[in-house]
Amino acid sequence: MPVDTPQDQAVPASLSSTARPGIPARRDDLAGEEPYGAPQIDVAHLLNVNENPFGPSAALAADMGAAVAEAAAGLHRYPDREFTALREDLAAYLAAESGIPAPPAEAVWAANGSNEVMHQLLLAYGGPGRTALGFTPHYSMYPEYARDTFTRWVTAERGPAPDFALTAAQVTAAIAENRPQILVLTSPNNPTGTALDPAVVRAAAEAMLAAGGLLVVDEAYGEFRRDGVPSALELLPEFANLVVTRTMSKAFALAGGRIGYLVADPAIVDGVRIVRLPYHLSAVTQAVARTALAHREELLSQVATLREERDVLAAHLAERGHVVAPSDANFIFFQPLLRTAADRHAVWQALLDRDVLIREVGPQPWLRVSIGTPEDNAAFRTALEEADPR
């Protein structure tokens, strides 16, 4: 199978800008743009997109199949567009996971992955003449959400490597300078794995509240945070302008199910409801998500294993002389110090040649490796050591 470019997949011919005559021009701001996509390559050890490597048990897969079969009997009808039962299930889960009082169903919203949740937030609260602020390095889709919604996207720098931390002073200064209507903070951050100090979230919420703006805290990897690291969910009762987003793709091993969600004041949720597409969450998706939440003990049972594997792998990389960013996620951001290769693409290729796929993302020369099964992680260690035989 041909190898994709390290950052994104090659664009299929049907999507190429070299279209036949007569094809209308795209929007000017889309000229030269290509679809998002991490490389999808058939290798033994897929460690590039932060998936959970542990799939459902046969019993859980059977329960999901039964739920889908029940939903299929009604597929001639539109799904429940408010999906209240799913929202209630998500609220109960968050109360158990984070120790907060269960939010009301009207304070919870779900969509097809946290990508669609973020897109809907910018549709409702961004737009022409409005600014969204983030801190680099950050998830590569944030500026695309802004582009799609005609929201101005601006950035400020995170702290220096290897911590890539943010301070309250940094955040409030960036707010004062850029005057955003939306501030996006990520904890743990992708691609660095850095979790936010609660004092930073509080300072950001206060500053954005004073400015009449929205604070979005993206907690896609929240379940992997280390003991003692709180969730921004704890601040929801204090700040009406706070939104916390989560996903079932990572900890719940449901990347193929496409379920993301947010928690916020019901008035903010109502804003998102205005811009959502009709019946955006299929009956099948709702059925799978509710079944997964009913079996959350099984699905979340591997989170502790992944956290332990992460910490062991981080220590190994540091012992080998690589610079490692502290991680509260299910991946590690590291700077290779190989004698045999000066640039990260050579390292990436050397690993791919050994059947291990990781991700080139963020500033040079950093790389990101997802935490896989113990066998995956062992294969990664071996491949990296073979590429750098010290």
Angle at 146 between CA 144 and CA 147, to 5 degrees: 65
- 100-147 pLDDT tens trace: 999 999 999 999 999 999 999 999 999 999 999 999 999 999 999 999
CATH topology of domain 59-299: Aspartate Aminotransferase; domain 2 (3.40.640)
Alpha helices per DSSP H over the chain: 58-72, 84-98, 113-125, 142-148, 168-178, 198-211, 266-275, 283-294, 296-300, 303-319, 344-352, 374-387
Mean pLDDT of 74-88: 98
Domain boundaries, given as residue ranges, for the chain: 13-54+302-387, 59-299
Provide the 8-state DSSP code for 249.
S
Handedness of CA 232, 236, 239, 243 (dihedral sign): positive
- 13-54+302-387 shares its CATH topology with 59-299: no
Nearest-10 crossing angle of helices 374-387, 344-352: 120
CATH 3.20.20.105 matches 13-54+302-387: no
Strand partners, 45: 356
Q: Percent of the chain, pLDDT > 70?
A: 93
Q: Is the pLDDT of residue 81 over 80?
A: yes
Q: How confident is the model at residue 37 (pLDDT cuts 50, 70, 90)?
A: confident
321, 337 contact by CB (below 8 A): yes
Give the pLDDT confidence of 331-351 residue by residue, as tens digits.
Answer: 999 998 765 556 889 999 999
Taking a C-beta distance cutoff of 8 angstroms, is the pair 216, 185 a contact? yes
Q: By the 8 A CB rule, do 170 and 159 touch?
A: yes
Instruction: Report the percent of the chain where pLDDT is more than 90.
Output: 87
- pLDDT of 73 > 70? The answer is yes
Positive or negative CA dihedral for 317, 318, 322, 324? positive
Are the C-beta atoms of 236 and 216 separated by less than 8 Å? Answer: no
Q: What is the pLDDT of residue 310?
A: 98
**SS3 of residue 9 by DSSP:** coil
DSSP 105: G
pLDDT in tens, 192-235: 999 999 999 999 999 999 999 999 999 999 999 999 999 999 99
